[in-house]
Amino acid sequence: MATKPATPAQSRTALVRRARKVNRILGETYPDARCELDFDNAFELLVVTVLSAQTTDRRVNAARPEIFRRWPDAATMAAADRAEMEQVIGPLGFFRAKTESLLKLSAALVSDHGGEVPGRLDDLVKLPGVGRKTANVVLGNAFDVPGITVDTHFGRLVRRFGWTEETDPVKVEHAVGALFEKRDWTMLSHHVIWHGRRRCHAKKPACGACPVAHWCPSYGEGPVDPDVAAKLVKTQGPA
């Protein structure tokens, strides 16, 4: 006799339980998970997050001391010499566009927020060059306001995990957020992103060395042999 199909409520309950189980295990696997961009305050975090587009966190961290030695706050950055800034951030790539973003961003902070970074999503996303991803990074890590950071790693993994089929970052954020308590959103982001950078790679995930393989419907997309998979595991984020 055919098995009775699960009701939507049962299916939803199973999904929530599986998703939260995966998050707990990832938290145990990566107890040091955090934002991998260095910062001392909300302004620094906002700036380095903007600069991190199309480059690695490690490169941004290397450039950070000189950037904030020259322009430690929004007022000094808004008054920066464009050519000087382009030279300083040149190694990060797309330096003209990034310089333009930082000049406009810092000017908006000075004119609209007294030089301070606002702690509300609606205010952050109105700033030049700041989208929901950047806003959630700043809210979660500088203001302790829960937020989900949907970067390329996060989007890839939550689809592999079967948590959502959405591809639009905002829809991914809302769909995944509904599976977890709001208080867990920021650390959930760190757990998933760390796993994406270290094991669940885009082209060849280390399935045979994955701590959540048992709960992953995409198991087998990468090598399942433990020895082969172990060689794919990185001990830190990308250089």
Residues designated catalytic = 133, 151
Question: Of 15, 27, 26, 5, nearest to 164 (Cα)?
Answer: 15
Token code pair at residue 204 = 């060849």
Token code pair at residue 177 = 């957020």
Phi-psi region of 157 (alpha: psi -120 to 50; beta: other; left: phi over 0): alpha
Alpha-helix runs per DSSP H in the chain: 8-29, 42-51, 57-70, 74-78, 82-89, 95-113, 121-124, 132-142, 152-160, 169-177, 185-198, 226-230
Query: Cα 52–56–62 angle (5° rounding)?
Result: 85
| Sequence letter at residue 211 | P
CA distance 172 to 148: 9
Question: Of 183, 57, 47, nearest to 117 (Cα)?
Answer: 47
